[in-house]
Amino acid sequence: MFVHNPNLDFDYLIIGHLTRDLTENGYRLGGTASYAALTARALGRNAALVSSFDPQLDLRQLDGITIHNHPAAATTTFQNRYTPAGRVQTVLAYAEALTPASVPPAWQNIPLIHIGPVSQLVSPDLLNSFPDSWVGLTPQGWLRQVDSDGLVGLRSWQSIVDWAAEADAVVLSREDLQQNRDAEEQLAKRCEILVVTDADNGAFLYDRNHRTHITARNSTELDPTGCGDIFAAAFFITLEETRNPIKAAEAANYLAAASVRRTGLDSVPTAEEAAWIRNNLKR
């Protein structure tokens, strides 16, 4: 359940690695943690972030977000290339692992926790480290494996099924599940709430294994990077505020569709988009 405590300074905590993403135009700040934290702030949350990165990393785009860093010699770095067959991703560097010990003791009772690994270097033990909090999970990084050349590939969904069952809600994509509908349905049986996003096909919400299709919104895609992270953060936050999974998925779908019209961290919700959510979906 969600716990509301007005004495807490923060009401949303994202745990995951900030990244340096190498694009054709150079490096830019990325990672689930950055997109999710900025989405939370846009939706009125006082967000905190736990990560590991090189202290020289330029964090100006995260101004206003409180960050606890487990210092590392390098920042987790990805090269992303988009092809007709999908994204090709290569790991160029890793920061330090994140474990329950990485979280400041004063942050143990933040009511909404979002665990967002982009690699295997986020401990699944974090799922059981917040007994008084509601925990959302985007397990994309746990479904990734890296070969000797740094090329990122997919792992079986079965590698995360027990961990996913520990979360209060899980958001991932059909790409993460290698387009395996049977895997989706089996995972839904283990999760209280599961959302599977599927690009132009919208999203599929499983609420205690009851399936609802959330229709995609028309949008001209410029850059899909971070779209799923924005969807997940918006879903978790709106679910807390409405207690309605369908409304939460519709809100997340709206913001994700809007995000692909912009590039990089500029794709996080605008003030106008956040206002649309408040006016149309939180009644």
CA distance 20 to 219: 27
* pLDDT over 50 at 1, yes or no: no
The pLDDT tens digits for 203-223 are: 999 999 899 999 988 777 778
Return the pLDDT at 84: 78
Domain membership flag for residue 238:
yes
Domains: count for the chain: 1
The pLDDT tens digits for 159-208 are: 999 999 999 999 999 999 999 999 999 999 999 999 999 988 999 999 99
Neighbours of 233 (CB within 10 A): 35
What's the pLDDT band for 2 if we cut at 50, 70, 90? very low
Is there a contact between 152 and 129 (Cβ–Cβ < 8 Å)? no
CATH number at residue 152: 3.40.1190.20
CB burial string 164-200: b at 16+ within 10 A, e below = bebbbbbbbbbbbbeeeeebbeebbebbebbbbbbbe
Q: Please, what is the average pLDDT of the chain?
A: 92
DSSP-assigned letter for residue 270: P
CA distance 229 to 256: 9
Interval 224-236 mean pLDDT? 94
What's the pLDDT band for 82 if we cut at 50, 70, 90? confident
3-state helix, strand, coil in the chain (%, to 5): 35, 25, 40
The crossing angle, in degrees rounded to 10, of helices 245-259 and 271-281 is 160
Domain membership flag for residue 218:
yes
CA distance 214 to 234: 15
CA atoms within 13 A of residue 124's CA, in its CB half-sphere = 15
What is the share, in percent, of the chain residues with pLDDT greater than 70? 96
The domain of 103 spans 12-276
Domain membership flag for residue 2:
no
The CB-based long-range contact list for 256-259 (8 Å cut-off, 24+ gap) reads 256/197, 256/227, 256/228, 256/230, 256/231, 257/216, 257/217, 257/218, 257/219, 258/219, 259/226, 259/227, 259/230
Question: What does pTM read for this prediction?
Answer: 0.93
What's the pLDDT band for 277 if we cut at 50, 70, 90? confident
Domain membership flag for residue 6:
no
What's the pLDDT band for 117 if we cut at 50, 70, 90? very high
CA distance 264 to 58: 15
The pLDDT tens digits for 118-142 are: 999 999 999 999 999 999 999 999 9
Give the residues across from 26 on adjacent strands.
23
Domain membership flag for residue 4:
no
Cβ-based neighbours of 180, under 8 Å, separated by 6 or more: 157
What is the share, in percent, of the chain residues with pLDDT greater than 90? 81
Interval 30-40 mean pLDDT? 97
Domain membership flag for residue 61:
yes
Strand 19-23 relative to strand 76-83: parallel, antiparallel, unpaired? parallel
What's the pLDDT band for 6 if we cut at 50, 70, 90? very low
Domain membership flag for residue 206:
yes
Q: How far is CA 17 from CA 68, 97, 101, in A?
A: 11, 9, 15
What's the pLDDT band for 5 if we cut at 50, 70, 90? very low
CA distance 253 to 243: 17
Domain membership flag for residue 150:
yes
Return the pLDDT at 283: 53
